[in-house]
Amino acid sequence: MKLKQIMSTEVRTIAPGTAVSRAAEIMRMANVGYLPVVEEDEIVGVVTDRDLVVRAITGDKDPRRVLAREVMTPEPRTMNQNASVCDSVTLMRNNRIRRILVVDDDEMLAGVVTLTDVALRAHEPIQSGTALLSICAQPALVG
């Protein structure tokens, strides 16, 4: 099974100059915990709900003045939409991540695949269950 068969194609994005308060608002409205950061059609990073908490809200920082570029994880993991779901599970497990940006043949953002997508939509439940246990058993990497 290929990623394009299970990926979500309605992906909200933000620019590097977006205030993290606005990013948090977009996440809340879209009910997501992950926003790709795109500049001139190029994926330059990703902001997660964890990034907002750990990097933007701690201390005396004002989330209206902190920008996405200051808290984003640069160079997020991507996979081509024609890659196999099995390969995405391996990438998630090896990197302890729960989401992968999916790109087309021109490296343009085409969608996102989450561990939940794999668990619910893929016909490989044993692998997705193994990946879930492996990923959740270790603390997330913060770039």
pLDDT given for residue 123 in this prediction: 66
How many angstroms separate the CA atoms of 96 and 133, rounded? 10
At 10, give phi and psi (nearest 5°). Answer: -90, 90
Burial of 56 (0-12, 13-18, 19+ CB in 10 A): buried
pLDDT given for residue 78 in this prediction: 96
pLDDT given for residue 124 in this prediction: 55
pLDDT given for residue 130 in this prediction: 56
pLDDT given for residue 61 in this prediction: 79
Q: Which residues fall within 8 angstroms of residue 8, CB to CB, at 6 or more apart?
A: 111, 112, 113, 114, 117
Per-residue confidence in pLDDT tens, the chain, 143 aa = 899 999 999 999 999 999 999 999 999 999 999 999 999 999 999 999 999 988 887 777 788 889 999 999 999 999 999 999 999 999 999 999 999 999 999 999 999 999 888 988 876 554 545 555 554 455 555 44
Closest CA to 62 of 72, 52, 73: 52
Cα separations in angstroms, 6 against 18, 68, 87, 96, 127: 29, 28, 13, 20, 15
pLDDT given for residue 125 in this prediction: 52
| pTM of the predicted structure, to 2 decimals | 0.81
Strand partners for 111: 102
pLDDT given for residue 121 in this prediction: 80
Count of CB atoms situated within 10 Å of the CB of 115: 20
